[in-house]
A and B are shown apart, each in its own frame.
Chain A
Amino acid sequence: MEETEFDDILDDWFIESLKTYKDLHVYQLEHPTQVIEWTSGKTVCVAGFTSSKNEILELRLPLKLFADENKGLCAERDFKVVHGGFTDAPVRCLRHIPGTRCVVTNDGLSSDLQVWDLGGDDSDVIRRTGSVDGSRGVSEGGSRIAARLSSQPQVLHGAESAGVRLTQLTSGQTVYTLETDSADPLSSLHFVSDAVFLAGCSNGKVYIADTRTSAAPQLSPPPPSSGESVLWWTDASAGPSCLDPSSCRIVRLSSCGQTVISDLRNPGGAVSRAQLDVQTRRCNADDVRVSWAPALDDCIAVSGFSGAVQIYSSSVWTTELQEAQPLFEHRGHAVSSQSDDGVPVFVTSHVWHPERPRTLLSAASDGSVHVWDWVDQSAAGC
């Protein structure tokens, strides 16, 4: 067999993957997505972000992934498009409202939100059912969105710290508004309990607020070495299911790769820090994601700086800023990228499976979506 045919069939990454992944699924969407959002234990929503017409799709993950006992007898490896809909604007942020068949999106052009009904068994069309007004007078950058299970469907949203509001979906009424001294652009919003939430700002500040009170929020200032043009992203571990919100931890990641972990009990301090090796490319605020693993201790996933998703174990980090090596790197998107225009592919989004410890989904700028279950090769660790 010729050399080129050899490489064609089996490349290093492919061979390596036999040992480094338990499960691996590779899909190609017609258009890339910047959002992956769980709508149930087996379904996710993805959506396009071109400037004109886009699709919102609810995909059911392959049955083979979940067939634990009789896995061998299940041949189903494909995504099933269970619901689909159309929108005329890009989808930059998409959030599922727990306990409903509703998702809320933002187009990144204004702070208003669009409300959608995903549909049930009687139809496979996702329909627009309404909208939620954002704060007036917001310039660029779209809204961040967060939601948690509640008796009345509610959505927390905002583009800047001043003006984050909690809106009742059915009535459109605002039941809470965050008031801060300065209007800092947000990079994320997270609920840590039914009432307590974090507003992570791109300048590194984190506000901790309680929707039950009108008292001023707690402010965690940006980590010390933050500069002018440095952007920050945040994630909080243990969501609304966490019984004791004060045991939640916050991770902050900067555009230079500096990572700081703090405890909610002492948000100004740092429990540990690390310097991650992120090849600084033109960093698009929209693409970077940092997330805690929901079912693994101390594991963080980082993406958006390149065509890889990196998994770190923060248990070995100390308060001294030191370089950290990833526990695992998913290079699938970069390796199998088919972009011809010379622009390297980069990961646009990733999510952890809520229950399966090492299963993640990741999407990239070439439209690829991967579902992977990685093998922890280290002796100790997650």
Chain B
Amino acid sequence: RSCILVSIGGKNIMLDCGMHMGYNDDRRFPDFSYITQNGRLTDFLDCVIISHFHLDHCGALPFMSEMVGYDGPIYMTHPTKAICPILLEDFRKITVDKKGETNFFTSQMIKDCMKKVVPLNLHQTVQVDDELEIKAYYAGHVLGAAMVHIKVGSESVVYTGDYNMTPDRHLGAAWIDKCRPDILISESTYATTIRDSKRCRERDFLKKVHESIERGGKVLIPVFALGRAQELCILLETFWERMNLKAPIYFSTGLTEKANHYYKLFITWTNQKIRKTFVQRNMFEFKHIKAFDRSYADNPGPMVVFATPGMLHAGQSLQIFKKWAGNEKNMVIMPGYCVQGTIGHKILNGQRKLEMEGRSTLDVKLQVEYMSFSAHADAKGIMQLIRMAEPRNMLLVHGEAVKMEFLKGKIEQEFSIDCYMPANGETVTVTTNPSVPVDISLNLLKREMALGGPLPDPKKPRTMHGTLIMKENSLKLVSSEQALKELGLNEHQLRFTCRVQLQDPHSDTDTLHRIYTHLKSVLKGYTIQHLPDGTVMVESIVIKVSSSTEDPNTKVLLLSWSYQDEDLGSFLSTLLKKGLPSGLC
């Protein structure tokens, strides 16, 4: 089950809230005690984001929001918002009504949960609050699936949910811009696989259907209205046309109504081809595929039927299944995952005798085929996504660390970024290098620029002196004087004085003159002045000469400098302590 907690810039976000389909007890829910030991989660979470409608990503949402307690916003795309409640309700019915479980959410809870949902559009930045913003990107995979970009200040995270990098017949491929997030969080379940081509999966499907039809059998394909039904229909239609096959193909009307309704709503979420087809005509207008009537199930001879629901847990697909199960010439093709407790799940686990209502048993003699058409990114896909987004760090979840060392090494080598692989329950801390924007006062900028000489060198970094003032949420860099003024402080001047003794037989005036000459030759480029008041000035440093009272050849130099010229002052005092060179005139 997917449920990731991210703390970024002081904000807490929950990414997905999935159910673990393998457990029957509380282990199927995420462990919310990581957030708080008891009590509601509202105060601890700034928002919840759901990537798509698969139950391992949203199955625990009503439990979290209504039974544990969360009243904040839940973000998801429009299609996800429309489809989630249907799947959750189906799931609830199976778990509670069929399996008789208690500790589970109710229909009302699903409704109340969905009231908290704020729908997202693709590529639209949404301000969750004045610091946290999120944006959804197209993920492919299933209708409405999104990858999410989360930003707080200058730090950001991208969570991929499930995605795929190759377009299929009804969905495009995932896409994201070079947003350079600090962390890219991705599933690693398929990271170490190399996917068999879509063509081969379809070939297998056609082969099985064809073989059954050829021997006079009937093929049942239970589908979810928004799954692969449309794709498989297109495939069969083309095949039938090509091979000039005569056996009838049907789809149940409930399927087409729902599918058409949703595709119409979410046409922008499908790929180009579907959009073109849809504009031209109704999605399910085929030459060889017709609407089903339940009386047809008893017709003799071969036929193919697409019927809902997808897991054979109720409704038309189950009715047809019951009629056809006893004949070994027939076939049922399950195109996806089935939840525990459903007939679909049982037959996919090899069960050949099923207990039906009223204690009757059903012998399953028909052929059962499990075909997976779900689109996931593999090792190559992950590398492609990293190339697109250019994250600074990579985080792979839901894999076993020992089985992912190679991928980690590959990512680290190719992109020179760190790759983390935390286990469930583990916390990973990633240090980022956030940039801190600071306003600089114009005066300070002008002054600093003037110091560097006529032309500034853009490549050369320079040290500058200023005072950083942090007031409320703004940062300002100003000159010291301005800072003192703003802060209402008095400026104090610090001056250092030092005495240097020098042996020099000349008069005071001459000695001073000699010092002046000496310094002029050593300190080229500095402003040195011999002032009429009997002092030599180097920048702000003042040098005076007087004779010692005991010995007229011993001169005492008085050096005085301000704090700002401390370096130069120290240099001068050391220099003059060495004495004057003899060659001076």
A→B interface (CB under 8 Å)? 1, 5-6, 9-10, 14-15, 17-18, 24-30, 53, 55, 59, 62, 70, 72-86, 121-126, 336
- Evaluate contact between A27 and B194: CB separation under 8 angstroms: yes
Q: Would you give 15 A-B contacts (Cβ < 8 Å), ordered by A?
A: A6-B242, A9-B238, A24-B200, A30-B383, A53-B413, A72-B367, A73-B350, A73-B368, A78-B195, A78-B196, A79-B194, A85-B406, A124-B404, A126-B406, A336-B197
- Chain A neighbourhood of B241, CB < 8 A: 1, 6
B32 at the interface (CB under 8 A from A): no
User: Which chain A residue has the least Cβ–Cβ distance from B190?
Assistant: A78
- Chain A neighbourhood of B196, CB < 8 A: 25-27, 62, 77-79
CB distance from B450 to the nearest CB of A (A): 51
B90 at the interface (CB under 8 A from A): no
Of the residues B200, B243, B413, contact of A86 by C-beta under 8 Å: B413
- Known A-B contacts: A1-B234, A75-B370, A81-B379. Give 18 more (CB < 8 A): A6-B238, A10-B238, A17-B203, A18-B207, A25-B196, A26-B200, A72-B368, A73-B348, A73-B349, A75-B371, A77-B196, A78-B196, A80-B193, A81-B194, A84-B407, A124-B192, A124-B406, A126-B406
CB distance from A44 to the nearest CB of B (A): 12
How far is it, in angstroms, between the C-alpha of A78 and the C-alpha of B402 when the chains are bound? 20
- Evaluate contact between A84 and B406: CB separation under 8 angstroms: yes
B→A interface (CB under 8 Å)? 190, 192-197, 199-201, 203-204, 206-207, 210, 234-235, 237-239, 241-243, 273, 348-350, 367-372, 378-380, 383, 402-407, 409-410, 413
How far is it, in angstroms, between the C-alpha of A125 and the C-alpha of B410 when the chains are bound? 11
- Evaluate contact between A125 and B406: CB separation under 8 angstroms: yes
Q: Is the interface of A mostly helix, strand, loop or mixed?
A: mixed
- Evaluate contact between A84 and B193: CB separation under 8 angstroms: no
How far is it, in angstroms, between the C-alpha of A25 and the C-alpha of B409 when the chains are bound? 28
How far is it, in angstroms, between the C-alpha of A126 and the C-alpha of B410 when the chains are bound? 12
- Evaluate contact between B195 and A27: CB separation under 8 angstroms: yes
CB distance from B567 to the nearest CB of A (A): 51
- Evaluate contact between A25 and B200: CB separation under 8 angstroms: yes
Of the residues B199, B234, B407, contact of A14 by C-beta under 8 Å: B199
User: Which chain A residue has the least Cβ–Cβ distance from B378?
Assistant: A78
- Evaluate contact between B203 and A24: CB separation under 8 angstroms: yes
- Chain B neighbourhood of A74, CB < 8 A: 370
- Evaluate contact between A124 and B403: CB separation under 8 angstroms: yes
- Evaluate contact between B194 and A78: CB separation under 8 angstroms: yes
CB distance from B240 to the nearest CB of A (A): 11
- Evaluate contact between B409 and A125: CB separation under 8 angstroms: yes
- Evaluate contact between B197 and A73: CB separation under 8 angstroms: no
Of the residues B204, B350, B405, B413, contact of A123 by C-beta under 8 Å: B405
CB distance from B365 to the nearest CB of A (A): 13
- Evaluate contact between A1 and B197: CB separation under 8 angstroms: no
- Evaluate contact between B193 and A1: CB separation under 8 angstroms: no
CB distance from A131 to the nearest CB of B (A): 21
- Evaluate contact between A26 and B199: CB separation under 8 angstroms: yes
CB distance from B153 to the nearest CB of A (A): 37
User: Which chain B residue has the least Cβ–Cβ distance from A78?
Assistant: B193
How far is it, in angstroms, between the C-alpha of A79 and the C-alpha of B193 when the chains are bound? 6
How far is it, in angstroms, between the C-alpha of A106 and the C-alpha of B203 when the chains are bound? 38
Of the residues B372, B378, B402, contact of A124 by C-beta under 8 Å: B402
CB distance from B352 to the nearest CB of A (A): 11
- Evaluate contact between A14 and B203: CB separation under 8 angstroms: yes
How far is it, in angstroms, between the C-alpha of A123 and the C-alpha of B407 when the chains are bound? 12
- Evaluate contact between B368 and A15: CB separation under 8 angstroms: no
- Chain B neighbourhood of A59, CB < 8 A: 194
